Each structure stands twice: as C-alpha cells, then as structure tokens.
Amino acid sequence: MILQIIKYGDKILHKKCKKIKKNILFEGLFENMFNTLLENMFNTLLKYRGVGLSAPQIGISLRLFIINYFDSRKNIFLNTKILKQFGVYKEYCEGCLSLPKSFYRIKRKEILLIEYFDEKWIRHNLLIKGFLARVILHEYDHINGKLIIL
C-alpha cells in the first residue's frame, strides 16, 4: 500500500516524536501491524523515489525512519540517537518528500556516530560518513520536529 505523504504546514511535522517502546511493538498483534507499516513505508518511499522517510511524514509521531540507500537492504532505524558529529560542515542541496519539488542548500557535518535499534530490536552503533550521514541527519531532524526550511 502507498501511504499519503504529509506536506509542509501540517503540525505533526513540527512535533518531537515519541520514543518507541519494545514491549508495545513486539508483542502479539502489534508486531504484525508494525511489519505492515514498515512494508507500506518502503513501498511509499520507492513510489516517490525518495532515499529516506520518517514516521511523522506519514502522520505517525514515533521515532522511526527508514532509508533505502546502502547495500540494497531495507534499513530501519528505531529510537535513533546521534552520539557524535565529526568533520567540517559541508553544504549540499537537499530535497524532502514533505516539500515536493523544492530544494534547499543545507550545511551538515560529514561524519556521524549513531545508536539505533533495528526492526528486530537489536541495538547498533554505527559510524557513517558522506551522503548517508546527510540522509540520516535529515530524517533525524524529522523525528525531532525540524524541517530543512526552518
């Protein structure tokens, strides 16, 4: 199923999202619903040819985003924390599915150390650099109620 993308102006895009609780998502009925949500998010991301999609962009205020960029895998990030940012700020032109056909020059650090949980609730620490770091920072901004135009 293709989900509707929430556009700029909707209040949910400006709210800090709630932390996901393992016991709620991964027990019984909710696990199936969560897996369906992830599948729908990836279908939506592919339909609109995006690289990343956050839960608030589909109207859900949870600390969840997905990325379809590296290793041809579906990459799911739950309760992501940025532990450290390194390097210099680099400017790059970014777009956003919630701001269709608009691009903005944004400065971001080029290297990140993050902590997150995957869809199996396994904790990961990951050092990321380059374009993927930029994508993660963009989606991380979404789950913290920030948009690239503000």
Measured CA angle at 12 (ends 70, 15), to 5 deg: 85
Cβ-contact 38, 45 below 8 angstroms: no
* Burial environment of residue 71 by CB neighbours within 10 A (0 to 12, 13 to 18, 19 or more): exposed
- Count Cβ neighbours within 10 Å for each residue of 17-45 and write b for 16 or more, e otherwise: beebeeeebeeeeeeeebeebeeebbebb
Residue 130 burial (CB count, 10 A): 11
Cβ-contact 142, 136 below 8 angstroms: no
Catalytic residue among 39, 94, 115, 139: 139
Lookup: tokens for 57: 């962009």
Residue 137 burial (CB count, 10 A): 21
139 is catalytic: yes
Q: So which residues are the catalytic ones?
A: 139
